[in-house]
Amino acid sequence: QVQLVQSGAEVKKPGSSVRVSCKAAGGTFNTYGITWVRQAPGQGLEWMGRIVPILGMVNYAQKFQGRVMITADKSTSTAYMDLSSLRPEDTAVYYCARDFPGDPPNNWFDPWGQGTLVTVSS
Amino acid sequence: QSVLTQSPSVSGAPGQRITISCTGTSSNIGAGYDVHWYQQLPGAAPKLLIFGNNKRPSWVPDRFSGSRSGTSASLAITGLQAEDEADYYCHSYDSSLSGLNYVFGTGTKVTVL
């Protein structure tokens, strides 16, 4: 049973960048995708983008185009989410999740990583 | 940002039945895209509760059920228990924007009285 383990909390200055990692423990990516979702404090869930590591195929939500980059290292079963030009409103918990079972649009997300808090503050 | 609308809160006594609605439009639920539901316990990551409109993962008790009709979907919880107190989110796909676009509901907080 695959588990997704994310990197630890980060504190960043406005204008800087952050990288959050997501490692598949106890399994591999296989043919599935990894999706990234964020949740601002006290707010709902917001989809950011996804990658299918075995294909190298990436999709981004329009809102984050140009500011987010999602990559994956198949050899270590680790996905990465880089967010640049950070602003205080990017303060949120960032989650990765397996994008299951295969091709969009009817995929669901399971399991989820534990979340990574990114705080953007001067 | 959320294009799927949920009632902000629902409450019920232990043992009661409650329903959570998720209202969309013709570009998401109404277009026939599947609806999935997640439960988020306080301080925890979301967890899959219902997938493909009405299917339950093996670990989810049959007290939880989902349905979809027209531009809306619903999650029902029967025999409400204290451990069901959490936030619940619906999720679907929206075709109104170019490219891939998954969308979530605004979230519903369930309180067990």
pLDDT tens-digit profile of B30-50?
999 999 999 999 999 999 999
Residue bearing the bigger pLDDT, A100 or B113: B113
Q: Check pLDDT > 90 for residue A16.
A: yes
Query: Is the confidence at residue B98, as pLDDT, over 90?
Result: no
Q: Which residues of B touch A115 (CB under 8 A)?
A: 45
- What local confidence, expressed as pLDDT, does residue B1 receive? 58
Q: What percent of chain B has pLDDT over 70?
A: 98
Q: Does A109 score more than 70 pLDDT?
A: yes
- Per residue in B5-30, pLDDT (tens digit) is 999 999 999 999 999 999 999 999 99
C-beta of residue B21 within 8 angstroms of C-beta of residue B29: no
Partner B contacted by A41 (CB < 8 A):
no
Residue A111 CA to residue B28 CA, distance in Å, equals: 23
- Residue B102 has its nearest CB partner, among A47, A112, A113, at A47
Q: Does A88 touch chain B (CB under 8 A)?
A: no
pLDDT at B99 over 90: no
And the tokens for A87? Answer: 């602003």
Which residue from A minimizes the CA distance to B109? A44
Strand B72-77 with B18-23, pairing: antiparallel
Of A113, A81, A103, the residue nearest A32 (C-alpha): A103
Q: Please, are residues B105 and B91 in contact by the beta-carbon 8 Å criterion?
A: yes
Contact B34 A109 (CB under 8 A): no
**Which residues does chain A have within 8 Å of residue B98's beta carbon, measured at their own beta carbons?**
62
Give the pLDDT mean for B78-90: 97
pLDDT of residue A51: 94
Give how far B50 is from chain A: nearest CA, Å: 9
- Is the sign of the CA dihedral B68, B15, B110, B41 positive or negative? negative
Distance CA A115, CA B46 (A): 10
pLDDT at B100 over 90: no
**A103 vs A105, more confident:** A105
- In this prediction, residue B86 carries a pLDDT of 98
pLDDT at A104 over 90: no
User: Mean pLDDT throughout B72-87?
Assistant: 97
Distances (CA, A) of A4 to A1, A97, A102, A106: 10, 7, 18, 21
User: Could you report the per-residue pLDDT of A70-102, keeping only the tens digit for each?
Assistant: 999 998 999 999 999 999 999 999 999 999 886
Which of B113 and B97 is assigned the larger pLDDT?
B113
State the smallest CA–CA distance between residue A95 and chain B in angstroms.
8
For the stretch A29-78, pLDDT in tens is: 777 899 999 999 999 999 999 999 988 899 999 999 999 999 999 989 99
Question: How far is A32 from chain B, CA to nearest CA, in Å?
Answer: 16
Q: Could you tell me if B9 and B108 are in contact, meaning their C-beta atoms sit under 8 angstroms apart?
A: yes
